[in-house]
Amino acid sequence: MTKISKSVIDKIDEKHIKPIPKWQFVLMNVAMWTLFVATILLGGIATGIVILKLFNTQWALVPRVGSKFFIVLPYIWFGLLALMIFIGSKIFERTKKGYKYSHWTIAGVSILASIIIGCIFYATHTAENVEETMQRHVPAYKELQKIREKVWHAPEEGMLPGRIIEGSSETLIILNDLTGQTWEVDIEDARMPLNIRLKVNMPVLVTGEKTGDFEFKADAIRAHRNLPPPLERAIRRQR
């Protein structure tokens, strides 16, 4: 036995050193993979909500909103997606064979996986359910949504979301806006993209021009699927 091998065996004896049990390494490995899968799933949810938000955005109205549009973008979810990709990549690098792949490959695969899972979450309404749950149970998120919804409430810029409280004739409706104010809306020349029939209590988004104090002339009325769902929910909450 050489000097080193003797000193190693002596130290093992002296300090009663034993090999760490295999189950601890297996557990650590399983934990790593579980965390990695969790980051991919969270990234998938974030991607699903980003898709949901982007599909629900009324792109035709963006010019009216102007620079305020940037408030509407789902930064939180973009941020969560980026964070999950970063954390997921770091976790993957620490798995047994993770070091064999470049940072770009790992990040690319994480992004691709998040997009695929995000599409599935979007298609199965999971993303929508998560978003609604967040709005119901996370006060800060709810407040943020209110700020976002108010972007679409801009009578001066020609956008008036609200609920019809009276439709006395084919030319005039009475609308309660997001702030609870009542407006007289002239709808004589208004287009209705989906040939909708206006009804009392229907949430709508009227675009046109403010003609006076709480008076508005509509050039188009959007409802149903032409109305961003979060805005529709906000109008319904006004009841």
Is 8 a binder of another protein (CB under 8 A)? yes
Among 55, 70, 75, 99, binds another protein (CB under 8 A): 99
Token reading at 211? 């003609």
Among 34, 102, 182, 211, binds another protein (CB under 8 A): 102
CB atoms inside a 10 Å sphere around CB 136: 10
| Nearer residue to another protein within complex by CB, 13 or 213 | 13
Among 33, 78, 101, 214, binds another protein (CB under 8 A): 101
Is 199 a binder of another protein (CB under 8 A)? no
Q: What's the burial of 98, exposed, middle or buried (CB within 10 Å: 0-12/13-18/19+)? A: middle
179 vs 155: CA distance, rounded Å = 12
141 vs 49: CA distance, rounded Å = 14
151 vs 73: CA distance, rounded Å = 11
Nearest-approach distance from CB 27 to another protein, in angstroms: 12
| Nearer residue to another protein within complex by CB, 6 or 237 | 6
Burial per residue of 39-77, b for 16 or more beta-carbon CB atoms within 10 angstroms, e otherwise: bbbbbbbbbbbbbbbeebbbeebeeebeeeeeebebebb
Is 195 a binder of another protein (CB under 8 A)? no
| Nearer residue to another protein within complex by CB, 95 or 126 | 95
Is 9 a binder of another protein (CB under 8 A)? yes
Is 16 a binder of another protein (CB under 8 A)? no
- For another protein, the binding residues (CB under 8 A) are 1-2, 4-9, 11-13, 17-22, 24-25, 96, 99-102, 105
